[in-house]
Structure 1
Amino acid sequence: MTLRATDVYHAYGDETVFEAVSLSISPGEVVAIIGPSGVGKSTLLRLLALFDAPDDGSIEYDGTDVWAVGDRERLEYRRRIGMVFQEASLFDASVVRNAEYGLRVRQSWTDRIRHELASLVGAENGTIEVIDALDAVGLADKADQDASSLSGGEAQRVAFARALAYEPDALLLDEPTSDLDPRNTAVLEEAIRNARDRGIGVAIATHDMHQAERIADRVAVLLEDEIIEVGPTETVFEEPTDERTQQFIDGELIY
């Protein structure tokens, strides 16, 4: 799977968000999208997640323009993409019921059979995929706990597990650790690396430069209404080709 935005123009009323943005996310890589607050990082993720349609340009999934196909086919593409927002939104239910929600809404007859088989091998509180996803964020031991009793960091880890459980091709993360303490941030960053190592393409919008340096294979710099630079993480941070990138990294640009 390769998820690609090509020459995307997008506006809200008379306000242009993007003029001609292009970015790709390939299997087994982490792409960090950095830029000042309000520049459109979240909007770009929503476009890549197929929540919103671009006003011009294309969003392609393995070469298919997903806004040129029918609604049913586009829904199938959307179901192969996971997204985690800045704030976790959990149901008044157990941790495992929250973590399995994405899998349940995508569930087929075959999945229901697999759910029954999972109980036979000891995963009584959910499918093997859900238990594995909770284990990836260090919460398998809290599967039966009520989600309302979790800390904010733990709730965000459940939200991540929920997106991971249905084994997406691409995982889009919108500032997922911005309000978390170092421990919860470290757990999620390790889970992101593990997702990449399993072949999932990951895009993360972050204002944390150090986080981008720690986990990203490539970095895209979004300023004003365009991506001014995209390349290997070390190159972007140490030898940027656009002097605005260096100014942004050094905190010299004011927005």
Structure 2
Amino acid sequence: MIRLSNVSQAYGEETVVEDVTLSVDPGEVVAVIGPSGVGKTTLLRILALFTRPTAGTVELDGQSVWSADEDERLQLRRRVGTVFQEASLFDASVARNVEYGLRVRQPWDDRLRDTLWSIVGSNGTPKAVKRSLDVVGLSDKLDQQARSLSGGEAQRVSFARALAYDPSYLLLDEPTSDLDPRNTGVIEEAVLEARDRGIGVVVATHDMHQAERIADRVGVLLGDGFTEIGPTETIFENPTDDRTQQFISGELVY
């Protein structure tokens, strides 16, 4: 699992994340909900091993991330994929954009060539690329220029790029913000398929209905950390903390 223990993050005098403990198992979806400004994105950056927390520990499958040397930490970081709120695609084909995830996450050596590049489809595209585009319903757009896609399609390509190298954990920061229902539905189905593959998924979202649809567990993040984390049905129907109930019902406004 990936685990945060008593993690805090401060920037100068401002504490953004405070005393957070969270674990994510392979093959589960954890949704982090909460208002803007409570540290959801910062929490994802810590989980992605981009940001070293001010306090607390981060472990990946029992290994302390920030106690590891730089090379070990790089190998750990390569096991975690991130999809940001806004798609960031290169001026190249859809296939090349997805292929980029393989290049940067896998060592460029014989193992990569043997496992990915020699196993290609009839058009020379690595099967890992086509398989991940199949998941998001875009395998028919392999050769299309990525910058000609709609916003929803571009976000689906970003998801496919993160999925292509088969990460152990996948982190999604508001992945369907401002998307239409069709693209939202495709990405939610892709999240569930990633879970079925054994990938641990963390979704930071403002959309509580989305959390209800796709999450196995939900954490409610407010200004002083999680009020509670638990099974989705429990959080939405029988929370134990008054602040959780107030937030879900719309009574608690930050």
TM surpasses 0.5: yes
The count of corresponding residues between Structure 1 and Structure 2 is: 252
Identity, % of aligned positions? 65
Cα displacement (A) at 1:116: 4.0
**Contact 1:114–1:127 (CA<8 Å) still a contact in 2?**
no
Partner of 1:110: 111
Aligned pair in 2 of structure 1 residues 127, 250: CA closer, same or farther (>3 Å)? same
Partner of 2:206: 207
Give distance in 2, aligned partners of 1:19 and 1:181.
Answer: 34
Structure 2 residues not aligned, in runs of 5+: none
**2:42 is aligned with what amino acid?**
T
Give distance in 2, aligned partners of 1:199 and 1:17.
Answer: 31
**Deviations 1:24-79, CA, capped at 9 Å, x for gaps:** 11000000000001110000000000000001100100111100110110000000
Give distance in 2, aligned partners of 1:116 and 1:10.
Answer: 40
Partner of 1:9: 8
Partner of 1:20: 19
Give distance in 2, aligned partners of 1:230 and 1:91.
Answer: 37
Cα displacement (A) at 1:192: 0.3
Partner of 1:216: 215
**Contact 2:17–2:38 (CA<8 Å) still a contact in 1?**
no
CA-atom RMSD in angstroms: 1.0
**1:35 is aligned with what amino acid?**
G
Cα displacement (A) at 1:108: 3.0
Partner of 1:175: 174
**2:22 is aligned with what amino acid?**
L
Structure 1 consecutive aligned stretches of length 4 or more whose deviation exceeds 6 Å: none
Partner of 2:28: 29
Partner of 1:251: 250
**Contact 1:32–1:204 (CA<8 Å) still a contact in 2?**
yes
Cα displacement (A) at 1:19: 2.1
Alignment of 1:113-152 (within 5 A): 113-119=114-120, 121-122=121-122, 124-152=123-151
Structure 1 residues not aligned, in runs of 5+: none
**Contact 1:29–1:217 (CA<8 Å) still a contact in 2?**
yes
Partner of 1:198: 197
